[in-house]
Structure 1
Amino acid sequence: MKPFRVLIVDDSTPIRTMLSGILSEESDIEVVGTAGSGAVALAKLAQLNPTVVTLDVEMPDMSGLDILAEIRKVAPRLPVIMFSSLTVKAGATTLEALARGASDYVTKPPPGGTLPSSIEHVRTQLLPRIRGLGPRQLPALVPLKDTPSKGAMLAAMPVGQMGPPTGMAAIPGLRPDILAIGSSTGGPNALAELFGALNAPLPVPIVLVQHMPPLFTRLLAERLAATSPVKFREAQHGDVLKPGDALIAPGDYHMRLERGNGRINVVLDQAAPENSCRPAVDVLFRSVAQAYGSRAMALVLTGMGQDGLLGCQDIRARGGQIVVQDEATSVVWGMPGFVAKAGLAHATLPLPHIAAELRRRFGQMTVGSEVKHAG
Structure 2
Amino acid sequence: MNRIKVLVVDDSAFMRKMISDILNSDPFIEVIGTARNGKDGIDKMEKLSPDVITLDIEMPIMDGLTALKNIMDRNPLPVVMLSSLTQEGAETTLKALQFGAVDFIQKPSGPISLDIEKIKESIVRKVREAASANIASMSKGNELTEPPSPLPLTVQTKANKENRKTIVAIGVSTGGPRALQQVLTQLPADFPAPLVIVQHMPPKFTKSLAERLDKLSAITIKEAEHGELLQKGTAYIAPGDFHMKVKKIGMSLAANITKDQPIRGHRPSVDALFESISTLHGYKKILVVLTGMGSDGTHGMQVVKQEDPGTIAIAEASETSVVFGMPKSAIQTGLVNQVSPIQDISQSILKAMEN
> Taking structure 1 as the reference length, what is the TM-score of the superposition?
0.84
Q: 1:175, 1:361 within 8 Å by CA — same for their partners in 2?
A: no
Return 180-189 or 192-201, whichever deviates more. 192-201
Task: Quote the residue 2:254 is aligned against.
Answer: 265
Amino acid of the residue matched to residue 131 of structure 1? R
Q: 2:166, 2:283 within 8 Å by CA — same for their partners in 1?
A: no
Give structure 1 stretches of 5+ with no counterpart.
146-173, 363-373
Rounded to whole Å, the distance in 1 between the matches of 2:110 and 2:86 is 12
Shift of 1:21: 0.7
Task: Quote the residue 2:217 is aligned against.
Answer: 228
Distance 1:69 1:13, change over 3 A: same
Task: Quote the residue 1:91 is aligned against.
Answer: 90
Amino acid of the residue matched to residue 132 of structure 1? E
Q: 2:58, 2:64 within 8 Å by CA — same for their partners in 1?
A: yes
Q: Deviations over 1:124-165 (max 9, x none)?
A: 3222222222157444444787xxxxxxxxxxxxxxxxxxxx
Task: Quote the residue 1:370 is aligned against.
Answer: none
Matches within 5 A, 1:1-375: 2-76=2-76, 78-110=77-109, 118-121=116-119, 123-135=120-132, 137-142=134-139, 177-292=166-281, 295-319=284-308, 320-362=311-353, 374-375=354-355
Q: Deviations over 1:204-232 (max 9, x none)?
A: 00000001110100000001100011100
Shift of 1:111: 5.5
Q: Deviations over 1:262-288 (max 9, x none)?
A: 222211111111121111111111001
Q: 4+ residue runs of structure 1 moved beyond 4 angstroms? A: 111-115
Shift of 1:176: 6.3
> Taking structure 2 as the reference length, what is the TM-score of the superposition?
0.88
Give structure 2 stretches of 5+ with no counterpart.
143-162
Q: 1:293, 1:318 within 8 Å by CA — same for their partners in 2?
A: no
Distance 1:198 1:144, change over 3 A: farther
Rounded to whole Å, the distance in 2 between the matches of 1:198 and 1:177 is 15
Distance 1:175 1:31, change over 3 A: farther
Q: Deviations over 1:165-219 (max 9, x none)?
A: xxxxxxxxx9661100000100100111112223434210000000111010000
Q: 1:57, 1:82 within 8 Å by CA — same for their partners in 2?
A: yes
Rounded to whole Å, the distance in 2 between the matches of 1:98 and 1:136 is 13
Q: How many residues end up aligned between the 2 structures?
A: 333
Task: Quote the residue 2:152 is aligned against.
Answer: none
Q: 2:187, 2:346 within 8 Å by CA — same for their partners in 1?
A: yes
Shift of 1:353: 1.0
Return 63-72 or 284-293, whichever deviates more. 284-293
Rounded to whole Å, the distance in 2 between the matches of 1:305 and 1:17 is 30
Distance 1:246 1:276, change over 3 A: same
Return 191-200 or 91-100, whichever deviates more. 191-200
SS in 2 for 1:259: strand
Distance 1:112 1:97, change over 3 A: closer
Rounded to whole Å, the distance in 2 between the matches of 1:191 and 1:357 is 14
SS in 2 for 1:23: helix
Q: 1:140, 1:332 within 8 Å by CA — same for their partners in 2?
A: no
Shift of 1:34: 0.7
Please provide the CA RMSD for this pair.
2.2
Rounded to whole Å, the distance in 2 between the matches of 1:219 and 1:280 is 19
Rounded to whole Å, the distance in 2 between the matches of 1:41 and 1:67 is 8
Shift of 1:3: 3.1
Percent identity between matched residues is: 39
